[in-house]
Structure 1
Amino acid sequence: MRLIRTLVCAAAAALVSAHGVAAINASGLGAAYNAGHTAITFNVYSSRATRIELWLYANASGSPENLKVVMTKGTGNVWTGSVTTSALTSAGISGTVYYGYRAWGPNWTYNSGWTKGSSLGFVADVDAQGNRFNPNKLLMDPYAKELSQDPTNPSNLDGTVYASGASYRLMDSGSVAPKGIVWVPDTQSVGTKPTRAFKDDVIYEVNVRGLTKADSSIATAYQGTYKGAGQKAAWLASLGVTAVEFLPVQETQNDTNDVVPNTDTGDNYWGYSTLNWFAPDRRYSSDKTAGGPTREFKAMVQAFHAAGIKVMLDVVYNHSGEGGAWSSTDTTTYNVMSYRGLDNPTYYELTSDNQSSYDNTGVGGNWNTYNTIAQNLIVDSLAYWRDTMGVDGFRFDLAAVLGNTCTQGCYSYNKTDTGTALNRIVREMAPRPAAGGTGTDFVAEPWAIGDGTYQLGNFPSGWSEWNGNYRDLVRQAQNQLGSVAVTTGQLATRFAGSSDLFGDDGRQPWNSVNFLVVHDGFTLGDLYRCNGKNNAQAWPYGPSDGGTDNNESWDQGGAATAQRQAARTGFALMMTSAGVPLMTGGDEYLRGLNCNNNPYNLDSSGNWLNWTRTTDQTNFQNFAQAMIAFRKAHASLRPATFYSGADNNGNGLQQLAWFEPSGAVADSTYFNDSNNHAIAWRIDGTELADTYAALYVAYNGWSAQVNFTLPAPPSGKSWYRVTDTCSWAEGPGQVRAPGSEDAIGGAGTVYGECGRGALVLIAK
């Protein structure tokens, strides 16, 4: 495989500029009309095919092909075919153009007598080089801008038609297979992209469908769609959200969701199994005509941009929806839908014998991320969503796989290797500057499943990361004291931006994306309501398989008031921590899933956001909204660089100082003693261009009240209370509006903070 990679790199060298940056889709892969819209050119990559045919259809499904074109192999292993619109019309294709490819290669040689369903030319399902060509399978174009439907859908529930192996290889998929769609490019605007610095963002992670599917304020036809999501832009802006991060919207298998009502039956709600990295998911569009999903997605982006909100996408480039082996003991039976049938060893990392997919993700097989051509698809796709679709940033699922330096039978993460996908992405697509401006926000989920994949804090410059350590420590401090040892020094490091993870390589606190919950695991409400997972329950809250048993959750003794208090405390700590806060859709009203911690398959009312609020939910939403506003109002909570004085030793206290409850400066002895569970800190706002001279935050992790002796405020100032998360203060005004804060006192004032509560003060 090293030799193969060398040859591929040599072939691609001509596409790289003197600055080492490859042109975006330099080979023009995909399908496109000419300037006069009189012809369409189709380009597809394959280094191993011996023949590729373009098959064109008048209908998406259920009909035979109307026209076939033999493609020609040209420079760089790009196969080309062209067809005029007059030829399409003559063939009976007068409206939308649907297309796919059929390919032959060393393991299935071309025979002129071959017909659909024939075995002529068959040698093996997989040969010694890893080829898996099968002309009985119509292949999706990897660069198609839209797909007609999912492989299985209400009209075709038989997924075996796409498989190889003795039982399935002669089944022809042409009439039912997803097809690429060609249409004249649209002119829908995406508006003006926000240029806000990433450090100033508050991210809201949500599923497009789940955001509005149960929202009665949205017209029924638009519920659960891109258009419906765009209509929530003003509401999200009023909540304080500055970036909406959508769970995967690239085409995935979800057309069969809800085909059998009130069951899970293989539903795919989250979307972490991508069929095509260019096509917006058709199911999320109210306009399903050719180009409709693209136009509607861009209109949604424009609506968010008009509200000042960035649009970020959760993207999955570590594996594909084509899946892995059907059986651990059978190397012949795999789905052949697209990449596998065009150039299996290029697009997928294979085992050392080339007979199976190498799987370091637990989801079917690694994308071959160290291969130049496979990387091209990643970068070309990202550029398309950035430039054409208007997307502002990306969160990468299982991103450690993109740091792999192996192309066959192994995994080896390397942060500094310039040839990895991680380094290529930020080299060719400029990250947003620290101070804001034109650029892209890149966020990694810095782990996968296999050995060597946990790389938190070890990503290259240009990348921010989900800080799983922040999540774990705050959860443990709130929910697991007595069974897990957590020191105040550990918490202090997380609250101050995690310099131990990001400060050693020139990155800054805003490269830490802080979160308590995300889609994967408990909701914020369930984190403080559940002692363990309950995934086997009935629809609509289950059943779901999998889910971690280590949730670091606790029901707070079963008292609802204590549960809401714990949620307020956790949310307040996140909003007063250095880094970028990430909340999940529904956190603002303590959405719950009855303790299901793995609802990936629940496309149900139990998993969609609820837009009817109880009094308690309204109070929490007001609290969340006010805490977000407080964060946005104070530059000192959003530092561009690490605080000076944040070394946990009491030295150099210029911007940040840590205190014991007694008022004494916290030193290493206090920080390192796991018997201490209360900590406070004072931020010097004057040093950080804040509107207020100083802020003070105290956290009491004990179950009983702790008295905090307040440090001196700046000269001529007194301390005023913004919020106390304790239950005594619960209500619509729990966070005081600017100018209505409660006077507390000056230096030496003793404040009694309830057990498991947090206090926020300002000096004025």
Structure 2
Amino acid sequence: MGEARAAIDTQQLGARYDASQSNLNFRVYSSRATRIEVWLYKTASGAQEVARLSMTKDAATQVWSKSVATSTIKTSYGITGTVYYGYRAWGPNWPYDAAWSKGSGTGFVSDVDNAGNRFNPNKLLIDPYARELSQDPNTAACADGTIYASGASHRNKDSGACASKSVALPADTSSIGSKPTRALKDEVIYEVHVRGLTRNDASVPAAERGTYAGAARKAAYLAGLGVTAVEFLPVQEAQNDQNDVDPASTANDNYWGYMTLNYFAPDRRYAADKSAGGPTREWKAMVKAFHDAGIKVYIDVVYNHTGEGGPWGGSDGLSVYNLLSWRGLDNPAYYSLTADLKYPWDNTGVGGNYNTRHSVAQNLIVDSLAYWRDTLGVDGFRFDLASVLGNSCQHGCFNFDKSDAGNALNRIVAELPPRPAAGGAGLDLIAEPWAIGGNSYQVGNFPAGWAEWNGLYRDALRKKQNKLGVEVVTPGTLASRFAGSSDLYGDDGRKPWHSINFMVAHDGFTLNDLYAYNDKQNNQPWPYGPSDGGEDHNLSWDQAGVVLEQRKAARTGLAFMMLSAGVPMITGGDEVLRTQFGNNNTYNLDSAANWLYWTRDSIEADHETYSKRLIAFRKAHPALRPANFYSGMDGNGNVMEQLRWFKPDGAQADAAYFNGSGNHAIAWRVDGSEFADPASAIYVAYNGWSGPVNFVLPWPGNGKQWYRVTDTATWNEGPNTVAPPGSETLIGGENATYGLQARSLLLLIAK
């Protein structure tokens, strides 16, 4: 395992001023380096260093350190403003030689040795614990990315002048407001890109569009929509400044941001204030704006791989790798490698696994999460390809094991406690519970404390809507998904709210496009493409090209999420039927076609009203947000109290009906009195058949009748598709019959 794990931030790594700001202390981990120097710069890019300082290693901790008086920095090195810095490291594959100079091969032995070392002193390295970065590695002035590479053609290229500099910052004490303490079960999550949220919004000042400051201006809109948690795609530093250089060439663009260069630094591109410290201050001001509106802030984090990537040139796969940070400091500590330590082990498809089982690599994960929680105000995290964090081994293998106490998943829960079930202080921890290959598909199999993107919820409901006669989804499967997926989460003590229910996410079609395209449309010209990759198995259908049916399907899909036990997540723009024109892998499209739009035609405005009212209905009815799994009729026909399932004829569904592959309609009644709900009962019916079905209604309660809140059918369009409270339409009492259109959903309340 390597060194024993430490408590949060024990090693005080990074560049930190002491309390009096009299000294600046540099600390970096490497167990394998034989020499590390910290190089100081006056400016962010384009200039040579002004100081080259040798660091001292502590054999017990493997931490290298150097303390410099701020007076020396000013008087001896002439740095009177921000201190920019980076590291140069030597090791067994490239031992230190006093004759070495920048851009020379003096001392070189090999690009990689049998111990997995990849040291190269010609590459200036980012501090893994830097609080901000000065700029991207590749900029307009430094477009040649090969300066960061190893291999015979590149190893002697010096990266110093162009490389991203780490920024030494004094501690920031600006406010992040009061964190909401709401229980996770009560959230409505809105997944969105921080740049895409306002880049195309004319109501935002031009200088703030696409920035944290711009996003802060949308807090009131999102609160009005009913959103309680905004989940941003990655905001930790990634290479993206070059996206706009040649918009028509999308080959190397990185819009989504899933190639992290540093796990502490807020991405400078998204700051209107790009001065040193500006991104941090602006991020915190944005968080405060959301907190002031009662909205939590989640961020999408990528601890399964990094922006250094994998091999990108050479026939042997050994030589040409980028050395930007971790790889040049301690390759086997920070990356999972093959058994011979020469190649990356890859369950991500984008360059090799981060070594989540190594204690020091874990320290970085935990320390950075704690920094975003405590200093930057984040309320929760969504973990990309989180199965990699459940890896129980380091090199030459991959094995997800949720019971391994030493894996990153269990350590995160132990040291960064999840929010209690009833709410309070803590983090909302959400896993994307899959990766690529091995035993990495683990939906429903994460350890206690973890919520998950429920991919089986998405797939079952997509199949039922879009693949009638092609895919079999029984009423019992639908019932399990609508009721919180107890088959996935109840068996290990987790709850309905550990299921994050979604129909679409950033990765794939939008809600509109799921029902408007049969296949991905990724090879379109700019600005709608081209994008490589993308899922081929989308479970989508264009509803035979009938636009009214497409809108109906979108209303039904949204209703599924808002009326299911669990936590609903929508994607930015779903509330107005945003389209990506059929592109289902828009990772590289930093374009107006991929940013949210803020004009509304009547159809978009109506769907926004529909979305807003449906979210409000969910929030008004605690019976839809159970803390525990409903007691009621299960897939075996056991009858209890809180929830009962019905066949269309009004009889209670039994095991035979649940398991019947030819059955396509299901209804359920939730007893609101069990939840102190203002409605004594709620009734939902779904007709998944291709023709109309009559539903016989159950008992609404003594002295009560059923009233229609919404019917997603094509006849019910316009601004009042969801009836405002108090204006619901009377339908009738027990045994009344309601004719429900094909592939439609009905919502009734008892009054």
- For 2:251, the equivalent position in structure 1 comes to 265
- For 1:18, the equivalent position in structure 2 comes to none
**TM superposition score normalised by structure 1:** 0.97
Q: Deviations over 1:358-385 (max 9, x none)?
A: 1121110101111000000000000000
Structure 1 outlier segments of 4+, above 4 Å: none
- In 1, distance between residues paired with 2:576 and 2:291? 25
- In 2, distance between residues paired with 1:664 and 1:648? 15
Give runs of aligned pairs for residues 374-389 of structure 1, distance below 5 A: 374-389=361-376
- For 1:136, the equivalent position in structure 2 comes to 122
Give runs of aligned pairs for residues 39-54 of structure 1, distance below 5 A: 39-54=23-38
Pick the aligned partner of 2:241 from 255, 265, 284: 255
> Would you say 1:188 and 2:174 are equivalent positions?
yes
Give runs of aligned pairs for residues 346-745 of structure 1, distance below 5 A: 346-745=333-732
> Would you say 1:298 and 2:293 are equivalent positions?
no
> Would you say 1:8 and 2:17 are equivalent positions?
no
Q: Quick one: which amino acid aligns to residue 167 of structure 1? A: S
Q: What's the secondary structure of 1:486's corresponding residue?
A: coil
Quote the offset at 1:262 in angstroms. Answer: 2.7
- In 2, distance between residues paired with 1:261 and 1:680? 50
Q: What's the secondary structure of 2:609's corresponding residue?
A: helix
Q: What's the secondary structure of 1:761's corresponding residue?
A: strand
Q: Quick one: which amino acid aligns to residue 64 of structure 1? A: Q
- In 1, distance between residues paired with 2:584 and 2:242? 23
Quote the offset at 1:94 in angstroms. Answer: 1.2
Quote the offset at 1:535 in angstroms. Answer: 0.3
- In 1, distance between residues paired with 2:73 and 2:251? 40
Pick the aligned partner of 1:30 from 4, 7, 14: 14
Q: What's the secondary structure of 1:728's corresponding residue?
A: coil
Q: What's the secondary structure of 1:311's corresponding residue?
A: strand
- In 2, distance between residues paired with 1:144 and 1:606? 34
Cα RMSD between the aligned structures?
0.9
> Would you say 1:274 and 2:269 are equivalent positions?
no
Quote the offset at 1:648 in angstroms. Answer: 2.2
- In 2, distance between residues paired with 1:265 and 1:322? 17
Q: Gapped runs of 5+ residues in structure 1?
A: 16-21
Quote the offset at 1:613 in angstroms. Answer: 0.8
CA contact (8 A) 1:201 1:243 kept: yes
Quote the offset at 1:25 in angstroms. Answer: 1.1
Q: Deviations over 1:120-159 (max 9, x none)?
A: 1111110110000000000000000000111111111110
CA contact (8 A) 1:496 1:646 kept: no
- Taking every aligned residue pair, what percent have the same amino acid on both sides? 64
- In 2, distance between residues paired with 1:441 and 1:366? 24
- In 1, distance between residues paired with 2:531 and 2:144? 23
- In 1, distance between residues paired with 2:438 and 2:339? 18
- In 2, distance between residues paired with 1:87 and 1:422? 43
- For 2:53, the equivalent position in structure 1 comes to 69
> Would you say 1:334 and 2:343 are equivalent positions?
no
Quote the offset at 1:261 in angstroms. Answer: 2.5
> Would you say 1:111 and 2:116 are equivalent positions?
no
Quote the offset at 1:331 in angstroms. Answer: 0.5
**Higher mean C-alpha displacement, 209-218 vs 552-561:** 552-561
Q: Deviations over 1:705-737 (max 9, x none)?
A: 110000111111110111111111111011111
CA contact (8 A) 2:190 2:231 kept: yes
Q: Deviations over 1:433-492 (max 9, x none)?
A: 000000000000000011210000000000000000000011110000111111111100
Q: Deviations over 1:646-684 (max 9, x none)?
A: 412332330000000000101111111111111100000
- In 2, distance between residues paired with 1:478 and 1:335? 45
- For 1:759, the equivalent position in structure 2 comes to 746
Q: What's the secondary structure of 1:376's corresponding residue?
A: helix
- In 2, distance between residues paired with 1:701 and 1:64? 67
Q: Quick one: which amino acid aligns to residue 80 of structure 1? A: S
Q: Gapped runs of 5+ residues in structure 2?
A: none
- For 1:175, the equivalent position in structure 2 comes to 161
CA contact (8 A) 1:649 1:666 kept: no
Q: What's the secondary structure of 2:551's corresponding residue?
A: helix
CA contact (8 A) 2:131 2:169 kept: no
Q: Quick one: which amino acid aligns to residue 477 of structure 1? A: K
Q: Quick one: which amino acid aligns to residue 3 of structure 2? A: V
CA contact (8 A) 2:497 2:627 kept: yes
CA contact (8 A) 2:399 2:438 kept: no
> Would you say 1:234 and 2:202 are equivalent positions?
no
Quote the offset at 1:645 in angstroms. Answer: 1.1
Quote the offset at 1:186 in angstroms. Answer: 2.2
Q: What's the secondary structure of 2:242's corresponding residue?
A: coil
Pick the aligned partner of 2:274 from 259, 279, 288: 288
- For 1:19, the equivalent position in structure 2 comes to none
- In 1, distance between residues paired with 2:36 and 2:560? 58
- In 2, distance between residues paired with 1:550 and 1:329? 33
Q: What's the secondary structure of 2:557's corresponding residue?
A: helix
Quote the offset at 1:263 in angstroms. Answer: 2.7
- In 2, distance between residues paired with 1:718 and 1:672? 31
Q: Judging changes above 3 Å, is the alpha-carbon distance between structure 1 residues 646 and 372 closer, same or farther for their aligned structure 2 residues?
A: farther
CA contact (8 A) 2:317 2:343 kept: no
**TM superposition score normalised by structure 2:** 0.99
Q: Quick one: which amino acid aligns to residue 330 of structure 1? A: G
Quote the offset at 1:34 in angstroms. Answer: 1.4
**Higher mean C-alpha displacement, 31-40 vs 692-701:** 31-40
- In 2, distance between residues paired with 1:182 and 1:290? 9
CA contact (8 A) 1:723 1:761 kept: yes
- In 1, distance between residues paired with 2:28 and 2:289? 34
> Would you say 1:121 and 2:97 are equivalent positions?
no
> Would you say 1:85 and 2:56 are equivalent positions?
no
Q: What's the secondary structure of 1:425's corresponding residue?
A: helix
Q: What's the secondary structure of 1:493's corresponding residue?
A: helix
Pick the aligned partner of 1:164 from 150, 173, 176: 150
Q: What's the secondary structure of 2:586's corresponding residue?
A: coil
- For 1:204, the equivalent position in structure 2 comes to 190
- For 1:318, the equivalent position in structure 2 comes to 304
CA contact (8 A) 1:196 1:436 kept: yes
Q: Quick one: which amino acid aligns to residue 415 of structure 1? A: K
Q: Deviations over 1:476-511 (max 9, x none)?
A: 100001111111111000000000000000000000
Q: What's the secondary structure of 1:427's corresponding residue?
A: helix
- In 1, distance between residues paired with 2:698 and 2:710? 18
Q: Deviations over 1:305-333 (max 9, x none)?
A: 00000000000000110111114632011
CA contact (8 A) 2:335 2:353 kept: yes
Quote the offset at 1:739 in angstroms. Answer: 1.0
Quote the offset at 1:636 in angstroms. Answer: 0.4
Q: What's the secondary structure of 2:32's corresponding residue?
A: coil
- For 1:101, the equivalent position in structure 2 comes to 87
Q: Quick one: which amino acid aligns to residue 210 of structure 2? A: G
Q: Quick one: which amino acid aligns to residue 252 of structure 1? A: A
